[in-house]
C-alpha cells in the first residue's frame, strides 16, 4: 500500500510516518520545505505550498490512501493575517489535493483521511458530544473547523471514502499541549484556570496514530472523535500530573476574568470545556492502549 501524507513533519505526522515505515509501506510526503532531502528508501518527497496554490501533482501517483494533517498552527497570536493563514492553509490544502487527484488519470486513491478538531464543539461541561452532535461553538476555531470539514466533501463525488478525524488534546512530550505544562510544573509553576472544572478530552499520541491506521485498515468512512474514553477536568489533570512529577502545586488558580482580559478571543484555547465521546470507534473494534490519564502520563513521563 502507498500513502500520501501532508503534514508529515508535525507531531502526529512524524509518529505516523515512523509507524507506516516500520510496516514497510511506501509513502509520498508533501512538504513546504524545498530543501528537504529524501531520507529513506520508502519515502518519496514532493513540494507544495497550499497558500500559494502550488502542488506537485505527481504526489498522488500510485497512492491508495491520502492522510491530510496539514495546516498553519492554531496556537499562535490570532492577528488578522494569522487567522487568514489558519483557515486558508487548511481549506486550500484540500482543494489542491482534490485537483491533483482529478488531474491524475491513473489515480487509485480509495480513502481520504483529514485531521479536524474537537474545537468545533460547544464549550459546555454538561454536553457529551458524539459525532452526531450539532452543538457547535460560536467561535473562530469552530468556524474554521466547519469550513475545513466541508471542504473535504468534494471527494464524495470521486467515490473516495472520506474520514474526518476530530482530534482532542494530544499528549506527547515531543510537542503540543503537554510539553509546556510539564516544564512549568517541574518548576512549581503549574496551576489551573478558575475552579478547574473545564473538561479536557485528551488522547495519547500512540492511540492517535493507532486509531488512524485502524480506520485505514477498515477503509472507513465518516466522522470519528479521536479522544480517550476518560476525559478529566483541568484541576484533576494538573493534580495527576503534579503527583507523577512529585511536584506540589503552590500557585493559586488563575481567575477566568484575567485570562479573558489578557488573551481576548484566544482565551477559548485556554479555558475551553469539551466532553467528547469516542464510543463510535470503540464499538467498531478499536482498542485503546491508554484509556485513563494515569496510564498515559505514566508512559509519557517514565
Domain contains 265: no
> Would residue 206 count as lying in a domain?
yes
pLDDT of residue 64: 94
Domain membership of residue 96 (yes or no) is yes
Over residues 241-296, the pLDDT tens digits come to 998 998 888 877 787 788 777 777 767 777 788 999 999 999 999 999 999 999 99
The predicted structure's pLDDT at residue 38: 59
Residue 267 included in any domain: no
pLDDT the model gives residue 106: 78
pLDDT value at residue 40 = 57
CATH number at residue 84: 3.40.50.720
Residue 37 pLDDT: 58
Q: What pLDDT shows up at residue 278?
A: 97
Domain count, the chain: 1
Ranges under pLDDT 70 in the chain: 35-42, 266
Residue the block writes with cell 452526531: 132
Tell me the torsion sign for CA atoms 117, 120, 124, 129. negative
Does 77 map to a domain?
yes
Report if residue 62 sits inside a domain: yes
Question: What does the pLDDT read at residue 248?
Answer: 86
Q: Is residue 166 part of a domain?
A: yes
**In the prediction, which pLDDT does 252 show?**
76
Q: What is the pLDDT, as a whole number, of residue 155?
A: 86
| pLDDT value at residue 104 | 83
Residue 120 domain boundaries: 2-170+202-227+277-288
Domain assignment present for 80: yes
Q: What is the pLDDT of residue 279?
A: 97
Q: Give the pLDDT score at 41.
A: 62
Amino acid at each position: 500500500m502507498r500513502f500520501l501524507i501532508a503534514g508529515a513533519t508535525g507531531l502526529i505526522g512524524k509518529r505516523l510516518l515512523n509507524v507506516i515505515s516500520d510496516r514497510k509501506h511506501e509513502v509520498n510526503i508533501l512538504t513546504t520545505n524545498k530543501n528537504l532531502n529524501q531520507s529513506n528508501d520508502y519515502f518519496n518527497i514532493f513540494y507544495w505550498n497550499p497558500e500559494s496554490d502550488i502542488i506537485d501533482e505527481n504526489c498522488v501517483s500510485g497512492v491508495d490512501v491520502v492522510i491530510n494533517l496539514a495546516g498553519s498552527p492554531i496556537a499562535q497570536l490570532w492577528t488578522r493575517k494569522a487567522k487568514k493563514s489558519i483557515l486558508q492553509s487548511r481549506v486550500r490544502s484540500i482543494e489542491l489535493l482534490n485537483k491533483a487527484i482529478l488531474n491524475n488519470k491513473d489515480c487509485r486513491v480509495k480513502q481520504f483521511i483529514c485531521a479536524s478538531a474537537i474545537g468545533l464543539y460547544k464549550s459546555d461541561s454538561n454536553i457529551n458530544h458524539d459525532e452526531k452532535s450539532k452543538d457547535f461553538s460560536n467561535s473562530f476555531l469552530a468556524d474554521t473547523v466547519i469550513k475545513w470539514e466541508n471542504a473535504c466533501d468534494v471527494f464524495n463525488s470521486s467515490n473516495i471514502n472520506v474520514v474526518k478525524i476530530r482530534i482532542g488534546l494530544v499528549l506527547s512530550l515531543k510537542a503540543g499541549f503537554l510539553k509546556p505544562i510539564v516544564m512549568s510544573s517541574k518548576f512549581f509553576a503549574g496551576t489551573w484556570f478558575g475552579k478547574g472544572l473545564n473538561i479536557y478530552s485528551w488522547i495519547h499520541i500512540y492511540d492517535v496514530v493507532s486509531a488512524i491506521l485502524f480506520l485505514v485498515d477498515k477503509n472507513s468512512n465518516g466522522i470519528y472523535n479521536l479522544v480517550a474514553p476518560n476525559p478529566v477536568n483541568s484541576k484533576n489533570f494538573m493534580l495527576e500530573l503534579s503527583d507523577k512529577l512529585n511536584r506540589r502545586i503552590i500557585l493559586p488558580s488563575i481567575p477566568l476574568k484575567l485570562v479573558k482580559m489578557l488573551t481576548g478571543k484566544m482565551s477559548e484555547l485556554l479555558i475551553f470545556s469539551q466532553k467528547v465521546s469516542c464510543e463510535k470507534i470503540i464499538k467498531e473494534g478499536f482498542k485503546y492502549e491508554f484509556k485513563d490519564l494515569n496510564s498515559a502520563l505514566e508512559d509519557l513521563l517514565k
